[in-house]
Amino acid sequence: MDFTTQIFCAPGRYVQGAGAIHEIGAHVAPLGGSILVVGGRTGLTATRAGRRKSFEAQHIRYIEESFNGETSDAEIERLAALCKQTCCDVLMASGGGKVIDAVKAAAEEIDVPAVVVPTVASNDAPCSALTVVYNPDGTFSRLRPLKKNPALVLVDTDIIVKAPVRTLVAGMGDALATWFEADACQQSNARNNFGGHITGIAMALARLCLDSIIEYGFNAKIACEKQTVTREFEKVVEANTILSGLGFESGGVAVAHALSEGFSVIPEIHRYLHGETVAFGLLVHLLVENRPKAVIREIYEFCLSVGLPVTLSDLGCGSVSRDLLHRAADDAAEPGKPSHNMPFPVTGKMLYDAILTADALGERLKAERQKS
């Protein structure tokens, strides 16, 4: 009998709400008095006014640094070295998933707290103790487990609602897969990102994540289009960020995320967001798992309602060669990939066949919608 303990981890503090950036100084002060803030031009601009006043009120010294755009080993090392050179004792990410992952890893390199202020709700990177490392050309390199979760995650929904609607929808795609993948991991008795078995709380959060996306997702997208922070919008931001983050990390991932990684070998897909590729990967996951037709139909219909990809053409690779699709499927099925968290053996051919089936079903359902 396997007596491996159950493990559940989470960020030190999670703060969400409209205008939350104006409180950041009070939350950061216990962590340190000098902070290196990293982000792209848009990410830094989005948080600058609120954090400047709040930091000054707490007498926190801060320095801004531009992110180079890719979560590579070189960029992680550069940010870690810069933090040491500038004598900062906290590293903060202001932006999307890639800068967040780079800052989390850089903070671990020099053992300082990581603070995450996402400016989009496009993925579940903010709360996790995991960094997805890419090669300089944008292809997937590896997953880098971290020793601890961020010390603080602060989500200002006034900022998130001004981001492109596409980013919120992509976050829904990432979150949509959370419970299905965690359920597969629980069935196979797979270990989670921390090397432990799955707790009941992880499964409950993963289920709440799925239910929140299905119930509030469409209205949240409408609210985002109008740039209004509604109850539904808050619920979806919470699902995209912390519910999905805790659910995937303490629950586990499987085919949907394995395919998202595998798809990185297809150049045409590089311009699509992580949550968009995960959404299509989830459709493949459901087919491989042989979920009931009603469940598969519900997920397809939801994806169509909010604009998530349901076909290869939706991911810009409708004309990609069969050989390249085979390569992506084989990559996702390599030993050690999360596809092997399924409760049955997974092969590249199985994934390839399911990719083509998911694509054909998506085309058929899109045609049905156009006729009705």
- C-alpha distances (whole Å) from 12 to each of 62, 165, 244, 330 are 21, 29, 16, 38
- Answer whether residue 343 is part of any domain: yes
Same-domain pairing of 247 and 144: no
- Answer whether residue 153 is part of any domain: yes
Residue 138, pLDDT above cutoff 90: no
| Single residue among 116, 140, 160 that ends a domain in this structure | 160
What confidence category does residue 201 fall into, taking pLDDT thresholds of 50, 70 and 90?
very high
Looking only at the bridges linking them, the beta strands covering 114-118 and 130-134 are: unpaired
Same-domain pairing of 341 and 205: yes
Same-domain pairing of 95 and 230: no
> What's the mean pLDDT in 364-371?
92
- Answer whether residue 1 is part of any domain: no
- C-alpha distances (whole Å) from 122 to each of 171, 237, 338, 339 are 4, 9, 21, 23
Residue 152, pLDDT above cutoff 90: yes
What confidence category does residue 3 fall into, taking pLDDT thresholds of 50, 70 and 90?
low
Distance CA 239, CA 234 (A): 9
- Answer whether residue 223 is part of any domain: yes
Same-domain pairing of 227 and 152: no
- Answer whether residue 4 is part of any domain: no
| Single residue among 132, 160, 188 that ends a domain in this structure | 160
Same-domain pairing of 316 and 222: yes
What confidence category does residue 1 fall into, taking pLDDT thresholds of 50, 70 and 90?
very low
| Single residue among 160, 185, 201 that ends a domain in this structure | 160
Q: Note the pLDDT of residue 298.
A: 98
Same-domain pairing of 126 and 31: yes
8 Å CB contact between 7 and 200: no
> What's the mean pLDDT in 239-245?
97
Mean pLDDT of the chain: 95
What confidence category does residue 239 fall into, taking pLDDT thresholds of 50, 70 and 90?
very high
Same-domain pairing of 120 and 268: no
Q: Note the pLDDT of residue 143.
A: 86
The whole domain housing 260 covers 165-371
143: closest CA among 161, 125, 157? Answer: 125
| 292 contact partners, CB below 8 Å, separation of at least 6 | none
Residue range 261-290, pLDDT digits in tens: 999 899 999 899 999 999 999 999 999 999
What confidence category does residue 140 fall into, taking pLDDT thresholds of 50, 70 and 90?
confident
Residue 372, pLDDT above cutoff 80: no
Q: What is the CATH number of the domain that holds 49?
A: 3.40.50.1970
CB atoms within 10 A of CB 232: 19
Q: In terms of pTM, does the model score above 0.75?
A: yes
Q: Note the pLDDT of residue 2.
A: 55
Q: What is the SS3 assignment for 18?
A: coil
> What's the mean pLDDT in 336-346?
96
- Answer whether residue 7 is part of any domain: no
Residue 187, pLDDT above cutoff 90: yes
Same-domain pairing of 364 and 280: yes
Q: Note the pLDDT of residue 254.
A: 97
What confidence category does residue 314 fall into, taking pLDDT thresholds of 50, 70 and 90?
very high
Same-domain pairing of 222 and 255: yes
Percent of the chain with pLDDT over 90: 92
Q: What is the SS3 assignment for 12?
A: coil
Same-domain pairing of 174 and 204: yes
- Main-chain phi, psi angles of 130, to 5 degrees: -150, 140
- Answer whether residue 8 is part of any domain: no
Number of domains in the chain: 2
Q: Note the pLDDT of residue 371.
A: 86
Q: What DSSP letter does each residue of 283-351 carry, written as one string?
A: HHHHHHHT--HHHHHHHHHHHHHHT---STGGGT-TT--HHHHHHHHHHHTSTTSGGGGSSS---HHHH
> What's the mean pLDDT in 28-36?
98
Residue range 82-117, pLDDT digits in tens: 999 999 999 999 999 999 999 999 999 999 999 999
- C-alpha distances (whole Å) from 170 to each of 14, 84, 273, 280, 320 are 21, 35, 7, 11, 22
Q: What is the CATH number of the domain that holds 236?
A: 1.20.1090.10
Helices (H), 111-156: none
